[in-house]
Amino acid sequence: GAGVSQSPSNKVTEKGKDVELRCDPISGHTALYWYRQRLGQGLEFLIYFQGNSAPDKSGLPSDRFSAERTGESVSTLTIQRTQQEDSAVYLCASSLALAGIPDTQYFGPGTRLTVL
Amino acid sequence: GQNIDQPTEMTATEGAIVQINCTYQTSGFNGLFWYQQHAGEAPTFLSYNVLDGLEEKGRFSSFLSRSKGYSYLLLKELQMKDSASYLCAVNNYGQNFVFGPGTRLSVLP
């Protein structure tokens, strides 16, 4: 595709429910990132996928958060038993991740999650 | 630990020049990136610096001093559309990135 796409664009859920967020990266981009951005704040790293390597999960805030990626394509971020503090915009980014070259990330439009 | 500091908010006048500073302390350094984010939109890439010095791209320039852990983004001939948040991000190691809190710039007529 022309850019990174994410779905849904908006998600309203009730506390305690599970949600699944989807990201379609730019074709050919081997690296994929998930970030969380609370209102008026900077980006908080969640998880990073690179090719077939084990993902870097160091940013996941709790075991309620998990993510998967199928090969070098679609990724899903799952939040189980959502809490009100999970309310934020969840941004996905992808990049070429070529060795030795600074890596420019291309961001999707984000999913705005509201937990009531 | 990892720490990136930026001013929270700045205000400037249309047509003026503004400098947005970023200081960082990270365990590694593979480059520093600047992103622009309009309200309600995704961040978009502006520039990056790997070596010390100034990188110029039209109305935007970015400077880096690795020894001082310091960078700035310079915006010239400000336009109303430049009102946005500007995010400083350090490529810490590998593909690990640390983002600063962002600087919200308001351009006034």
Query: Looking at the complex, does the CB of residue B67 fall below 8 Å from at least one CB of chain A?
Result: no
Helix ranges (H only) for chain A are none
Tokens found for residue A40 = 């008026």
What does the alpha-carbon distance between residue B22 and residue A17 come to, in Å, rounded to a whole number? 39
Residue A113: enclosing H or E segment and its boundaries? strand A111-115
Identity of the residue in A31, A56, A102 whose CB atom sits nearest the CB atom of B30:
A102
Q: In what order do the strands lie in the sheet with A5-7?
A: A5-7, A19-24, A75-79, A65-69
Q: Are A92 and A6 in contact (CB under 8 A)?
A: yes
**pLDDT tens profile A15-62:** 999 999 999 999 989 899 999 999 888 899 999 998 888 888 888 999
Burial class (CB in 10 A: 0-12, 13-18, 19+), B7: middle
Nearest by CB to residue A42, choosing from B30, B33, B87, is B87
Q: Mean pLDDT of all residues in chain B?
A: 93
The chain-wide mean pLDDT, for chain A, equals 92
A25 touches chain B (CB under 8 A): no
The closest alpha carbon to B84, from B37, B41, B45, B47, belongs to: B37
Chain A stretch 38-97, residues whose beta carbon is closer than 8 A to a beta carbon of chain B: 41-45, 48, 50, 56, 91, 95, 97
Q: What angle do CA B104, A47, B39 make, to 5 degrees?
A: 20
